[in-house]
Amino acid sequence: MENFFINIGPGRCGTSWLYSAFSEHPEISMAKIKETEFFNYEYVRGVEWYKSLFKKNGVAFGEISNNYFLNKNAIERIHNFNSETKIIINLREPHTLLNSILGFAKRRGLEFKNFKLSNIPYLKIMGKEDDSRNFISVLDAINHIEIINFCEQLFGEENVYIFIFERINYEPELLLEEIYRFIGVNENFKSSITHSRINQAIIPRVKIFGTLSYKFAAFLRFFHLYRLLDFLKKSNIIKKIFFKRLDLKNTDLLAETDYNYIQKDEILSIKKEFIIKFPELKRFWGA
């Protein structure tokens, strides 16, 4: 597949917003399902199965799988599939990202009060049961500068685009123009979701709703019923019946962990490391 791109994550950084914008663009052929996880967990299905997920026509072909950024093997498989793949990697201010991840845990009926951030399983929250032999904490997950460097070395810096989440609020039109230009399609296309909020933070009205939805989603993934899962995730009716909005701007879920006592400095260090590598982040994250 020529002119191929992949958004490798992480989640809670605008991937659903991007997926909607890409899906609308007439020159982009997106995978039929968001988060195919082909290069992670579905690789045994083979390349022909993967190719079957895309329409035949398109100027650019792409997918979004939020957890590729955790796995160097997945990145190498992408490179073997197409060494000229354009890679999109998402960045979000670490404090707000952690808060959003913990909010997503509540959405799924998971509670991590009084936990250390280094003991909270990222993959259990973000859709795939964590393998105890390869444990990844939420603290590990937000520090993905190493995988950015790895992608730049493997694909070339010119083929890696850093998607800054906060730009969705400040300059969404310019952001989409840049990304469309990066993947080689008409940058003047105007998406209907440019100023929309996609996949906003929600929590179950009753905790059991979150637990059941989490288990049902795992059931659908196990049987590869991705289209049904995608439909249910997008259903506003289901969200209104079983869930309610979570105002993360005025909710500090980090306060329920050891953040203020142990790991505040560590998170600040991660933030500074990103800013050193990408000085433009100062504009959106502050010093």
Tell me the pLDDT tens digit for each residue of 180-236.
999 999 999 999 999 888 777 777 788 788 888 878 877 887 787 877 877 887 788
Tokens for 264, please give them: 């505040």
Whole-prediction pTM = 0.90
Query: Whose CA is closest to 30, among 9, 70, 57?
Result: 57
CATH assignment of 4-285, among 3.40.50.300, 1.20.120.420, 3.40.50.2300, 3.90.79.10: 3.40.50.300
Lowest mean pLDDT among 36-50, 73-87, 116-130, 150-164: 116-130
Domain ranges of the chain: 4-285
Q: How far apart are CA 50 and CA 287, in angstroms?
A: 42
User: Is residue 122 scored above 60 in pLDDT?
Assistant: yes
Please report where in the chains the tokens 């959003």 appear, as a residue.
100
Give the number of other Cβ atoms within 10 Å of residue 266's Cβ.
15
Tell me the pLDDT tens digit for each residue of 73-91.
999 999 999 999 999 999 9
CA angle 198–202–206, rounded 5-degree value: 150
